[in-house]
Amino acid sequence: MNVFYYTTPVGKIAIAEKNNAITNIFFETDTIPSDFHVKETALLKETAGQIYLYLYKKLKSFSIPLNPQGTEFYKKVWNALFTIPYGETVTYKTIAQACGNPNAARAVGNACNKNPIPIIIPCHRVLSTSNKLTGYRGGLKLKQKLIALETTKIEVV
């Protein structure tokens, strides 16, 4: 497992890969497991390049292999997040409905919080039922920046 650090317009991130697929994106506040080796691979470099393009509004979707690890429910939620178009937001309840359990909005929120590949798996596009900005592993300011990058201003609670 390899990890490499990059400085981006939204702060320092670390991107990790295993077996030629991206497994994690870590924010500055995250703890990186000790079993990763610091080594830049072609895939990590390509991923960082795509993230830079995204952050500079030159890329709307990513085309890299992903292998996020989590429960079947989490994976179902993460797959549903890919259906949210660039520049749009939905509610946790909307994602819960898309996953077949309209009463699982809180569980969707937890799955978003556990998303190992934020930015690429766009959990930042999910808002509360009242369309307010709530919860993000990288912090609300970062979530607001990512949404603002794609959309107009939203209210922070």
pLDDT beneath 70: ranges in the chain: 152-157
64 occurs within a structural domain: no
Q: CA-to-CA distance for 64 and 43, rounded, in angstroms?
A: 8
Shared domain check, 86 and 111: yes
In this structure, are residues 53 and 35 in contact, taking their beta carbons and an 8 Å threshold? Answer: no
120 occurs within a structural domain: yes
Which listed residue (98, 119, 123, 133) is catalytic? 123
Question: Is 112 annotated as catalytic?
Answer: no
62 occurs within a structural domain: no
Domain CATH for 103: 1.10.10.10
